[in-house]
Amino acid sequence: MPPICLAPDVMLRFFGLGPSASSTSQRCFRSALPPPSSSSSAYLRSSGARATMAPMSTVDTNKEAAHVREQSHKSSPPQPQVAKRLEKFKTTIFTQMSNLAIKHGAINLGQGFPNFDGPDFVKEEAIQAIIAGKNQYARGFGVPALNSAIADRFKKDTGLEVDPEREVTVTSGCTEAIAATILGLINPGDEVILFAPFYDSYEATLSMAGAKIKSITLHPPDFSIPLDELNAAVTTETRAIFINTPQNPTGKMFTKEELEFIANLCVKHDVLAFSDEVYDKLAFEAEHISLASIPGMWERTVTMNSLGKTFSLTGWKIGWAVAPAHLTWGLRQAHSFLTFATSTPMQWAAAAALRAPESYYEGLRRDYKAKKTILVDGLKDAGFIVYPSSGTYFVMVDHTPFGFPDDISFCEYLIKEVGVVAIPPSVFYLNPDEGKNLVRFTFCKDEGTLRAAVERMKQKLKRNWRRGARQQKQLSGLRGMAWRLSLAMVVVLAFTIWLFSTRNSLVVQDIDVSKLWGTAPSTGWRPSAAPRSFWASPPSNSNGFLRVRCNGGLNQQRSAINPPRDAPLSWYTTFALDKIKKHGAIYLTPFSHRLAEEINVPELQRLRCRVNYHALRFKPHIMKLSHDIVNTLRSQGHFISVHLRFEMDMLAFAGCLDIFTSKEKELLMKYRKENFAPKHLVYKERRLMGKCPLTPEEVGLILRAMGFDNTTRIYLAAGEIFGGERFMKPFRSLFPNLENHNTVMGAEKLEDNARGLVGAAVDYMVCLLSDIFMPTYDGPSNFANNLMGHRLYYGFRTTITPNRRALAPIFVDREAGRAADFEERVRGVMFAGSFGGPRERVHPESFYTNSWPECFCQVSAKRKEDRCPPDNILQVLENRLRNEVKTDGNATKTFLLD
Ligand SMILES: Cc1ncc(COP(=O)(O)O)c(C=O)c1O
């Protein structure tokens, strides 16, 4: 492949001087769908529940029936509709519980809202605000008085001083703070870690954002975090960890050690934290600790809260998010389009509420503690296993002493037979089975209500539980049969899926390849190759300037300028610059690969990025042609570019001869003899070592095994394919939509092709801009290596890098007829790698394929060396240099920015 053509400004940049580049109640009323039937199967989250959701009519008389039939002839009733991303949330478990509660006159200890009113002084403020005419749209991010009150309370609670104007956003309840945070800061495909059981809106909102949810399950009795599991769950794909402390529904409060563990992970992996602290003032057994107050966390945490729980005004829906300005930016963007602003008079009243003296919160806690005691003691007396709850107004219990198979059947029984409503918590888990032994009760009810509920449970539940168990026993015979039938069905289903998957090569279980069309999550990193310090003093054995070693490797490029070894700066600023001016560009061969060898100094690495990526410009007509090709291809959708290095020079160099005819072999050997040093190469060994470029067919097989179907469009960056159509045919049969620069633009457009270089330059740009790039030989290929690094630098663009060594035995087996699990094995190799996000460079990986972390920075970084330099960094450095020269005349010292 040709060397890279550098435009005049490259030289300046090269020297580092150029531009641098529910509550349960909400769940109840959230669904607009008609309620499902009361059979317990309607509670299921699965699509099975959907059938029961269709509107039903109960018709008693023939006349009415005839009328209904007549009407339905005219127009069939509209079916409930919901977008796919919310389909699974169609469950109306809370509505069901409420409906049953009303029907059976049950006492409601399910829904998390107080059955008593908020304080008069707050209500009075709201009335006064309305009378005073504070009734028009409020400022989008909150009325100033409320922003200040929130900032003051936050300071009191956490010790952190926040800017009420830039770091506090008032939202419509904490629910909106959650939505704005997620929608404003999470990209589709980002991984977010939740702790199950979790408040229901997290999962639904994350689904709306297209996030990938990873759930860590907290187990009773203490619901502590399985630290190893959490540690393993955080990867480079993780964008945020979402906590809720004190936690609904468990009442767990995250301990300082747990918060510190989370903080360490967040800092280490540059992960954001979202902390829902709506129950912060309902902490009974421990002191509430805000995650943002843990060292290193403020700059990466969004803390969410609301007025509802603390002031018993859940219907007002006043909430807020406190976050550093750079995160507030994203969440405010979402807030602007979700609700824009929140009820004005209620905000004024909320401001007054938050100025309440400490004694208000003490009284609140005292009252709730008394209520908690009534409930907890009563539940224990009634025979439940009660788990400790440190905060919130919820208590989790284990219902299994009563012999019911799951939480839903127990809650149904509790309503119908005992007259008390509780919440089955399986809906708070990604895997509902994990919550099937548990039940959640709330004590945010007046003491009379709590006592009455407890009495019912103590009397009826105790009296009836044997009956419940007996019923259970009778049922279990039937259930056993049903269970066996279900098992049989599962086996049949699994077999069918297996059959289907073995016959259909496009079923990929491991990774959703459609996600690969997008760029990888940046997790806060962005490219920046700007210098951060002055150059270090030159080593004593150099000529006083940066040593640049350019050793030409591509003997075809005889017209290129070869800088003399250790060329002084003046060589570039005089001789080379003259040539650049004269010709518009010069070739410095091969500049990309050997800027200098083995010098692993971050400042020098950044210089390499400035040269290789930042400054890389082709002549205007090449840039135009490339963009035209990309635009034409993109107008039809996504496309993959494949650097198909199946060319004579490469095959001869690699010594991969056996697949060719004897005539072709002869040609390759001749080329090898003329151009490379003699070496005895055994094809099979070379292949198993991963030294052979992939054949076109192998490329096709890999992409198909990964899940790309035959409609996928592929742009081939390739010279002349050795062996021609004989090798291309199998590839084309797998992927008929193959393009190259000639097929897209027409051959005449590339007529001014200077020794193939225009085509190669155009190919480089198209590969750079394509949605997915796949090299087939990254060995000594500057083209592929530079592209891999360039695409990473250019915004973490997906690159599929086949591990040829790991794939070789799979291909060998296939050729020998052992192809049974071919695709599975290929997927195993392909999905074990990464596709382009920030990832530590691992020796012997080349800096040119992965310049992370040197050439990247973080806007909000904990470590000084990761922090993005200011935009005017060059000016800053120059000023310092001048001052330094003035004071001690030593211009070559190294100064790190602070
Ligand atoms: C953990 C948690 N977060 C958020 C909310 C919603 O708060 P708001 O009513 O302020 O929207 C609730 C309500 O139950 C909750 O339990």
Q: Where are the domains of the chain?
A: 5-19+528-615+867-888, 120-356, 625-866
The per-residue pLDDT for 548 is 39
Give, for ligand 1, the residue of 170, 195, 278 to mutate: max count of ligand atoms closer than 8 Å to Cβ: 278
For 20, 75, 540, 573, the CA distances from 6, given in Å and listed in that order, are: 16, 70, 31, 15
CA 315, chain centre distance (Å): 33
Q: Which atom of ligand 1 is nearest to the CA of 22?
A: 14
Q: Which atom of ligand 1 is nearest to the CA of 172?
A: 11
Residues 772 and 516: beta-carbon distance below 8 Å: yes
User: Of all protein residues, whose CA lies closest to atom 14 belonging to ligand 1?
Assistant: 23
CB of 173 shorter than 6 A to ligand 1: yes
CA of 360 to the centre of ligand 1 (A): 21
The per-residue pLDDT for 493 is 43
The C-alpha atoms of residue 250 and residue 397 are separated, in whole angstroms, by: 9
Residues 443 and 378: beta-carbon distance below 8 Å: no
User: Of all protein residues, whose CA lies closest to atom 16 belonging to ligand 1?
Assistant: 23
CA of 302 to the centre of ligand 1 (A): 15
CA of 321 to the centre of ligand 1 (A): 13
CA of 98 to the centre of ligand 1 (A): 19
CA of 442 to the centre of ligand 1 (A): 14
User: At residue 257, what is the residue type?
Assistant: E
CB of 112 shorter than 6 A to ligand 1: yes
The SS3 call for residue 738 is: strand
CA of 180 to the centre of ligand 1 (A): 14
Residue 744: CB atoms within 10 A of its CB come to 18
Parts of the chain with a pLDDT under 70 = 1-76, 90-92, 94, 462-510, 534-561, 563, 565-567, 583-599, 747-756, 779-781, 884-898
CB of 172 shorter than 6 A to ligand 1: no
The per-residue pLDDT for 555 is 39
Q: List the structure tokens of 216.
A: 């860590």
CB of 276 shorter than 6 A to ligand 1: yes
The per-residue pLDDT for 811 is 93
User: Of all protein residues, whose CA lies closest to atom 13 belonging to ligand 1?
Assistant: 23
| φ and ψ of 445, to 5 deg | -130, 160
CB of 290 shorter than 6 A to ligand 1: no
CB of 305 shorter than 6 A to ligand 1: no
DSSP assignment string, 13-34: HHTT-S-----HHHHHHH--SP
CA of 817 to the centre of ligand 1 (A): 60
Q: H helices within 270-385, ranges in order? A: 325-338, 344-354, 358-382
The per-residue pLDDT for 838 is 86
Which architecture does CATH list for 120-356?
3-Layer(aba) Sandwich (3.40)
DSSP assignment string, 167-187: SEEEEEHHHHHHHHHHHHH--
The per-residue pLDDT for 267 is 95
CB of 175 shorter than 6 A to ligand 1: yes
CA of 411 to the centre of ligand 1 (A): 22
Give, for ligand 1, the residue of 111, 171, 309, 346 to mutate: max count of ligand atoms closer than 8 Å to Cβ: 309
The per-residue pLDDT for 613 is 87
CA of 233 to the centre of ligand 1 (A): 26
Q: Which atom of ligand 1 is nearest to the CA of 176?
A: 11
CB of 278 shorter than 6 A to ligand 1: yes
CB of 306 shorter than 6 A to ligand 1: yes
CB of 308 shorter than 6 A to ligand 1: yes
CB of 199 shorter than 6 A to ligand 1: yes
User: At residue 246, what is the residue type?
Assistant: P
The per-residue pLDDT for 621 is 83
Q: Which atom of ligand 1 is nearest to the CA of 306?
A: 10
The per-residue pLDDT for 780 is 61
CA of 391 to the centre of ligand 1 (A): 14
Cis-peptide, bond into residue 401, ω within 30° of zero: no
Q: How many CA atoms lie within 13 A of 382 on its CB side?
A: 29
Strands (E), 40-174: 107-108, 168-172
The per-residue pLDDT for 213 is 96
CA of 179 to the centre of ligand 1 (A): 12
| φ and ψ of 800, to 5 deg | -95, 115
* Secondary structure element (H or E) that encloses residue 217, with its range: strand 212-217
The C-alpha atoms of residue 666 and residue 449 are separated, in whole angstroms, by: 94
CB of 248 shorter than 6 A to ligand 1: yes
CA of 93 to the centre of ligand 1 (A): 17
CA of 278 to the centre of ligand 1 (A): 6
The per-residue pLDDT for 413 is 92
Q: Which atom of ligand 1 is nearest to the CA of 307?
A: 10
CA of 183 to the centre of ligand 1 (A): 17
